[in-house]
Amino acid sequence: MDEPIYPYVGASVTWPRSGDAAWRQADHPFHVYHMELCLAEAAAAAAEDEVPVGAVIIHPERGVIASAHNQRERLQDPTAHAEMIALTQAANALKSWRLEQCILYVTLEPCVMCAGAAVNARLGMIVYGADDPKAGACRSLYQIPDDKRLPHRLAVVGGVLAEQCAAVLSEFFRERRRWGRK
């Protein structure tokens, strides 16, 4: 492989399933950097009156290969979660449904559908921001990425910029209620 074209140069990176304990920490600068990109996507969703959830997928040599936000309202599609759109973008970018080396970053803990899609994509790792006690399928309600009955397991890191990620959502719903929508 030639010189990596990965744009992030700030932190030393151990990729991706190393035993490096720092890599599993929510305050690792590599994770924080990519969660900030997700927050920008979430802001774009809010501006479109979509529930603000943003996701990016990165590949070790190619960097960010997918960047998406929730588009359920615009597309009137129950599968149009940020993660699902990003997984399709990433598969298109790699011309492969296998995303083994890739990491999915997302502002909110993935639901059953998205965690299941990550398993099906053979994804390397999920890194998310805020826990979702109502629908989270990585830690909160289900632990899909760790389920030994499934054919693939992947690492999960939660809580990256959790307060900012949760604040974007709570602000969105507060504004909605103010305008009498729900």
Number of residues that bind Zn ion (CB under 5 A): 4
Q: Quote the least distance from Cβ 142 to Zn ion, whole Å.
A: 12
Based on the shown chain and the rule CB under 5 A, indicate whether residue 139 belongs to the binding site for Zn ion: no
C-alpha dihedral (12, 14, 114, 118), degrees to nearest 10: 150
Cα–Cα separations (whole angstroms), residue 15 to 19, 23, 31, 75, 101: 10, 9, 12, 35, 9
Of residues 50, 83, 163, 175, which has the active-site annotation? Answer: 83
84 half-sphere exposure, CB direction, 13 A CA radius: 14
Q: Quote the least distance from Cβ 136 to Zn ion, whole Å.
A: 10
Cα 14 from Cα 95, distance rounded (Å): 25
Q: Quote the least distance from Cβ 103 to Zn ion, whole Å.
A: 17
Q: Which is nearer to Zn ion, 85 or 114 (CB)?
A: 114
Q: Quote the least distance from Cβ 110 to Zn ion, whole Å.
A: 5
Q: Which is nearer to Zn ion, 28 or 50 (CB)?
A: 50
Q: Which is nearer to Zn ion, 23 or 128 (CB)?
A: 128
3-state SS, residue 158: coil
DSSP 98-129: --TT-EEEEEE---HHHHHHHHHTT-SEEEEE
Site for Zn ion in 33-62 (CB under 5 A): none
On whether the CB atoms of residues 116 and 102 are closer than 8 A, the answer is no
Containing H/E element for 141?
Answer: none
Q: Which is nearer to Zn ion, 39 or 114 (CB)?
A: 114
Site for Zn ion in 80-119 (CB under 5 A): 81, 111, 113-114
Q: Known catalytic residue: 83?
A: yes
Catalytic residues: 83
- Which residues are at the interface with Zn ion (CB under 5 A)? 81, 111, 113-114
